[in-house]
A and B are shown apart, each in its own frame.
Chain A
Amino acid sequence: MFESKDLLGIKDLSPEEISYILDTASNFKDVLKRDIKKVPPLRGKTVVSLFFEPSTRTKTSFALAAKRLSADFVNFSVSTSSVVKGESIRDTALTIQSLGADFVLIRHSSSGVPHFLSKIVDMSVINAGDGANEHPTQALLDLLTIQSHKKSFKGLSVSIIGDIAHSRVAKSNIYALTKLGAHVRVICPPTLMPADVNRLGVEVYHSIDDGIKDADVIMTLRLQLERQTKGYLPSLREYFKLYGINHDRVKLAKKDAIVMHPGPMNRGVEIASSVADGPQSVILEQVTNGIAVRMAVLYLLGGVRK
């Protein structure tokens, strides 16, 4: 079923592979509900995280996932390592491999770095977010969350709101959702819309009210606050006014719509606190599902490696 040793992105996965990962993750969700949350499949295996961008939540989620599978988890700390002295990524990756790692989790601000590494090392490379390209495990955990609230992805209407141009979360979700048959609408100011994004099979909206209407899922993205200073936006206040998710806008969606956010949230910029903490929010559930999905990915790639 699962043939690649790496998870570089959703783009190259088949719908069947995505479903298979989700099914596996569902099983691990049950494990996580047990009193003793540890299973043995990756005993003796080593998972190393190599994060060139800070992300406490993704790293912690992966660390817990690895530990629940009985793997050793080591953080290759970039700030204190030779990377700051200008060591090449190739050398860093080969060093990690020589330390005996089986998996490397890579997070980098430059798109394509996981693909670059995968050609160099024999370890399983897992993309934990690369530039504006992909963040596959985030999309998978989003899908797992949606799956527990909605019957099917087929025909489901998902509205993604935010900085689409710079969002790897949006990209991975667009790939995953469209592959599984959902209708995806992307909503953002034209300055933050990537070129020809409609060719990914999504509908493009600049008006949030139109874009959110009758949606089953509202997925809002984190806005990098420096977008304002780079001329993409006049002000954060205007952004919240035009694109922030508030109570009135949620009402335009279907009654049973769920509200998602990959975190960390800028309350009052992309989402109102009343919505984030409201009854339709599944934001904390996403966090919990992250561990199950990352367990599934490690487990399945570990199976390929055997």
Chain B
Amino acid sequence: MTVLIKNGRIIDPSQGIDGRKDLLIKSRKIEGIYAAGKAPKTDKIIDASGCIVIPGLVDMHTHLREPGFEYKETIYTGTMSAVKGGITTVCCMPNTSPINDSVSITQFILDKAAKEGACTVYPIGAITTGQKSEELTELEALLKAGCIAFSDDGMPVINSLIMRRALEYSKIFNVPIISHCEDMELSKGGVMNEGFVSTILGLKGIPKSAEEVMVARDISLCELTKGRLHIAHVSTKGSVNLIRDAKKRGVNVTAETCPHYFTLTDESLISYDTNLKVNPPIRTEQDVAAIKQGLKDNTIDVIATDHAPHHFDDKDREFDAAAFGISGFETAFALGLGLVDQGILDLTEFIRKFTITPSHILRIDKGSLSAGADADVAIINTETTYTVDSLNFISKGKNSPFHKWKLKGIVEKTIAMGKVYDWR
């Protein structure tokens, strides 16, 4: 089966391509890119007029909830939701139940993904057994089983010595340690950013320092060990500054942020909407500005969703007791496009941070339209505006703070491992 995607604007940062060209797919692989009208005859033609044609997005921070929390999301619903959002590679965090700290869980996830998944799934293994910050997991065995990186996400590695060992030991395999930076004592009981808005709402705040002291610690440990550190979901100006300085010194650190951290400020919480409750919390205008600057100057390498779907009942309750997290797959691209509209990033740079850069960090063959690559493609209309209706998400998690927002950028079609999904 051959498919030609024609009349679109192909943007592939991995090859420095941006232009009106045709993309040829043969079965599950990219065959090549051709000048308009120069491709050979194919079985099927997709007209991408008025759209950009880009590598399927690579989301290096997601929660698929299976095993253990299938009422929140499954590998099937999660990957379908991702694909709806133009995402064709998802890396799933290990805080499932049981936790992905063993080969059997990794295998379970990969088997499920092979059977039911709509796109490629790469598990991220736990750094420590049971995410307890006590003992390292068997990194070699987990990597062999299919994990591509390690993180205790949802929890920090509280024990600094264990974090040091993780950064050291992982050097054998040259894989990143992804750090959820949170000092659990400083954040204890907190449910939103600490500041004037938390004072108004009478909610317990999480100070920026709760993130920044751990970012500083982990950078220091990374410098000490010469390991590979990736900072997850950067939310504060201070973190951006710490990472920028570390990079200047040559520390082997990379970083990601998520759409909600460059789109929202804590003032949006004023009506106690639990869909805005997320960890780390939504910060202030200065933080948003610093994160945008960090994205622009490449202090922040990657955009990821931190897709964290929850059941309605987990959010429909008192703010203190509601679950942390945002269902992010189906709005991520459009929110990122906002950065392009604001002139923070050009389209190529935005796409780079959501495709080839995370692929490089994780050393996976994804996020590119080069010949021989997996046939993962997103066809997106970047001009059309639509109104978000989170009730129509494919994800089981309808917990979006962007419900009823008007966003620009609709994913028209997604091709995942050669399979075409038509959303219109």
The residues of A with any CB-CB pair to B shorter than 8 Å are 11, 88-90, 108-113, 115-116, 130-134, 168, 171, 194-197, 199-200
B34 at the interface (CB under 8 A from A): no
B195 at the interface (CB under 8 A from A): yes
The answer on a CB contact under 8 Å between B272 and A115 is yes
The answer on a CB contact under 8 Å between B318 and A108 is yes
The answer on a CB contact under 8 Å between A113 and B318 is yes
CB-nearest residue of chain B relative to A115? B272
The answer on a CB contact under 8 Å between B194 and A116 is no
Q: How far is the CA of A197 from the CA of B205 in the complex (A)?
A: 13
The answer on a CB contact under 8 Å between A110 and B320 is yes
Q: How far is the CB of A177 from chain B (nearest CB, A)?
A: 16
The answer on a CB contact under 8 Å between A90 and B319 is no
Q: How far is the CA of A197 from the CA of B200 in the complex (A)?
A: 9
CB-nearest residue of chain A relative to B201? A111
Q: How far is the CB of A118 from chain B (nearest CB, A)?
A: 11
Q: How far is the CA of A89 from the CA of B316 in the complex (A)?
A: 9
Q: How far is the CA of A132 from the CA of B203 in the complex (A)?
A: 7
B residues within 8 A CB of A88? 313, 316-317
The answer on a CB contact under 8 Å between A110 and B318 is yes
A residues within 8 A CB of B320? 109-111, 131
Known: A90-B317, A112-B319, A131-B320. A168 touches B199 (CB 8 A): no
The answer on a CB contact under 8 Å between B200 and A11 is yes
Known: A89-B318, A110-B320, A199-B196. A130 touches B271 (CB 8 A): no
**Contact flags B196-219 to A (C-beta < 8 A → 1, else 0):** 101111111100000000000000
A residues within 8 A CB of B202? 111-112, 130-134, 168, 171
Q: How far is the CA of A109 from the CA of B271 in the complex (A)?
A: 17
Q: How far is the CA of A200 from the CA of B321 in the complex (A)?
A: 27
New A-B contacts (7) at CB < 8 Å, excluding given A116-B317, A196-B195, A199-B196:
A90-B317, A111-B272, A111-B319, A112-B319, A195-B196, A196-B199, A200-B199
**Contact flags B23-43 to A (C-beta < 8 A → 1, else 0):** 000000000000000000000
Q: How far is the CA of A115 from the CA of B199 in the complex (A)?
A: 16
Q: Which of B198, B313, B317, B318 is most buried by chain A, counting CB atoms within 10 A of its CB?
A: B318
The answer on a CB contact under 8 Å between A131 and B203 is yes
Q: How far is the CB of B316 from chain A (nearest CB, A)?
A: 6
Q: How far is the CA of A195 from the CA of B321 in the complex (A)?
A: 22
Q: How far is the CB of A104 from chain B (nearest CB, A)?
A: 15
The answer on a CB contact under 8 Å between A133 and B321 is no
**Neighbour of B194 across the interface among A90, A134, A195, CB < 8 A:** A195
CB-nearest residue of chain B relative to A113? B318
**Contact flags B300-323 to A (C-beta < 8 A → 1, else 0):** 000000000000010011111100
Q: How far is the CA of A16 from the CA of B196 in the complex (A)?
A: 26
Could you list some 5 contacts between A and B, CB below 8 A? Answer: A111-B319, A116-B272, A195-B196, A196-B195, A196-B199
Q: How far is the CA of A11 from the CA of B200 in the complex (A)?
A: 9
Known: A112-B272, A115-B271, A116-B272. A197 touches B316 (CB 8 A): no
Q: How far is the CA of A195 from the CA of B199 in the complex (A)?
A: 6
The answer on a CB contact under 8 Å between A116 and B200 is no
A residues within 8 A CB of B313? 88
CB-nearest residue of chain B relative to A120? B316
CB-nearest residue of chain A relative to B199? A194
**Neighbour of B199 across the interface among A90, A110, A113, A197, CB < 8 A:** A197
Q: How far is the CA of A116 from the CA of B274 in the complex (A)?
A: 10
Q: How far is the CA of A132 from the CA of B200 in the complex (A)?
A: 9
Quick one: which of B310-352 are within 8 Å of A by CB? 313, 316-321
A residues within 8 A CB of B271? 115
CB-nearest residue of chain B relative to A194? B199
Closest 3 CB pairs of A and B: A133-B202, A112-B272, A132-B202
Q: How far is the CA of A112 from the CA of B272 in the complex (A)?
A: 6
The answer on a CB contact under 8 Å between A112 and B203 is yes
Q: How far is the CA of A88 from the CA of B311 in the complex (A)?
A: 14
B residues within 8 A CB of A134? 202
Known: A195-B194, A195-B196. A116 touches B318 (CB 8 A): yes
The answer on a CB contact under 8 Å between B200 and A89 is no
Q: How far is the CA of A88 from the CA of B317 in the complex (A)?
A: 7
The answer on a CB contact under 8 Å between A196 and B196 is yes
CB-nearest residue of chain B relative to A112? B272
Q: How far is the CA of A199 from the CA of B202 in the complex (A)?
A: 14
CB-nearest residue of chain A relative to B318? A110
Q: How far is the CA of A62 from the CA of B202 in the complex (A)?
A: 23
CB-nearest residue of chain A relative to B313? A88
B residues within 8 A CB of A110? 318-321
A residues within 8 A CB of B317? 88-90, 116
CB-nearest residue of chain B relative to A133? B202
The answer on a CB contact under 8 Å between A111 and B194 is no
B residues within 8 A CB of A171? 202
A residues within 8 A CB of B196? 195-196, 199
Q: How far is the CB of B242 from chain A (nearest CB, A)?
A: 21
Q: How far is the CB of A114 from chain B (nearest CB, A)?
A: 10
Q: How far is the CA of A116 from the CA of B318 in the complex (A)?
A: 7
A residues within 8 A CB of B194? 195
CB-nearest residue of chain B relative to A164? B199
Known: A195-B198, A196-B196, A199-B196. A111 touches B316 (CB 8 A): no
Q: How far is the CB of B278 from chain A (nearest CB, A)?
A: 16
CB-nearest residue of chain B relative to A193? B199
**Contact flags B243-277 to A (C-beta < 8 A → 1, else 0):** 00000000000000000000000000001100000
